[in-house]
Structure 1
């Protein structure tokens, strides 16, 4: 393993804002893969910034690695707020955070059960109430999206697939992403710069969504008003014919 290369890569990452990555680099490099990824996450400005850094072997130096690019994803901490179908999103998220979902989805656990024990099903009853709330969400498109987002947020890394299969979220609704390449001889985009760029894209997304909503609302109003005007014209024509 090229220790000098690992140290140099760690310093490069540190200069970009990816701190304490040296040991993770060494753990990947010791297996001598052709390429590998490292994940990094920070919380910034009311959101979560997730990175996936891509490394591959240096074509010039066989036992060394280079950072090729990284993908940056900005996701608002609370993309869904308020009440959906009578259920408060923040309340439900808090309820879900208090459950050990790894154990909840572990169906191999065995222990004696006594029907007379009132507390025997306490955890299961709590989970059932959460599932009922998630089901209540799914009455609208927005609710289905919020429910899927909460499931992914709290069930990530658990064996939920056995019951629910794959849970997909329309990512363009809750996050923005960008790939940044690392080019020789050119300054690279830092973590802070990537954050500012993605935050600006998120604000732009919100503004465009509000503009579209306003335009759609205006179109509906125009259609209603136009329809009303047409009826008035018909009534006027009928009155004119009657008077003749």
Structure 2
């Protein structure tokens, strides 16, 4: 095993602000995959940074390299809304906390089933209730994001992936993301640098949104003004036509 390579990668990550990655790298590299990802979260004030590192094995040297990482700045807590599609999010999250999901997804487990004894199928009833609530959330645009986040929070690392495949990620519209690449001659973007970049990107997005709203308001006001002016001109034309008709009638008399 190329311990030097693992140590070098861990040192590289540490220089960027990510500590104690050595064992995480070791556990993945020992399986000698062609590539792999590492996920990591860092709290910044009331915001959350989500990192996803991509490593790839080099065929020439058999060593692994960090090629890039994706980072997402979560500006808004997606669980802060109380009700979505008739589902109480706090209650659903609490309900999911009470279930041992590792055991729930162990579909090969054999145990006694007695239709008259609810305790023998109580867990499965809870699971069904949660799944139905998640399905209801996924019918709503905002609910899709919450449902995906809850699945990742409680089902990541369970046999869910073996049974149903990967969990489809739904991006929260308030999130800001960026990919940062690495090259042999660059040290890479640190945590703080990535955070400042995403904050600036978020601020730019807010300014553009405000400008768009202001332009939209201005256009609406212009439309109303034009509509009022048009109505006034039309009314004036009708009055003039009426007066002209009366004059013609008088001349004929």
1:93-143 Cα offsets, whole Å, 9 max, x none, are: 232233223333333222112233243333233333333433443453223
Q: Does the 8 Å contact 2:137/2:144 carry over to 1?
A: yes
Q: Structure 1 pair 138/116, CA: closer, same or farther in 2 (3 Å)?
A: same
Q: Does the 8 Å contact 2:69/2:179 carry over to 1?
A: yes
Counterpart for residue 52 of structure 2: 51
Counterpart for residue 134 of structure 2: 134
Distance 2:92 2:219 in 1: 34
Distance 2:215 2:87 in 1: 27
Q: Structure 1 pair 154/174, CA: closer, same or farther in 2 (3 Å)?
A: farther
1:38-78 Cα offsets, whole Å, 9 max, x none, are: 5141321231422314244396xx36554443333334572
Distance 1:162 1:215 in 2: 50
Normalised TM-score (structure 1): 0.69
Task: Give the deviation of 1:189 after TM superposition.
Answer: 1.2
Counterpart for residue 23 of structure 1: 23
Q: Structure 1 pair 106/207, CA: closer, same or farther in 2 (3 Å)?
A: farther
Q: Structure 1 pair 64/156, CA: closer, same or farther in 2 (3 Å)?
A: closer
Q: Does the 8 Å contact 2:112/2:120 carry over to 1?
A: no
Distance 1:4 1:99 in 2: 42
Distance 1:216 1:132 in 2: 42
1:156-193 Cα offsets, whole Å, 9 max, x none, are: 34455798776534326364332323334444211222
From the CA coordinates, give the structure whose radius of gyration is larger: 2
Q: Structure 1 pair 31/128, CA: closer, same or farther in 2 (3 Å)?
A: closer
Q: How many residues align?
A: 240
Normalised TM-score (structure 2): 0.67
Counterpart for residue 197 of structure 2: 197
Q: Does the 8 Å contact 1:50/1:74 carry over to 2?
A: no
1:180-216 Cα offsets, whole Å, 9 max, x none, are: 233344442112222332343345445555665x469
Whether 1:81 and 2:80 are equivalent positions in the alignment is: yes
Q: Structure 1 pair 228/129, CA: closer, same or farther in 2 (3 Å)?
A: farther
Distance 2:233 2:125 in 1: 62
Distance 1:115 1:100 in 2: 22
Note the aligned Cα RMSD (angstroms).
4.2
Q: Structure 1 pair 37/6, CA: closer, same or farther in 2 (3 Å)?
A: same
Alignment of 1:84-163 (within 5 A): 84-160=84-160
Q: Does the 8 Å contact 1:42/1:48 carry over to 2?
A: yes
Distance 1:164 1:25 in 2: 27
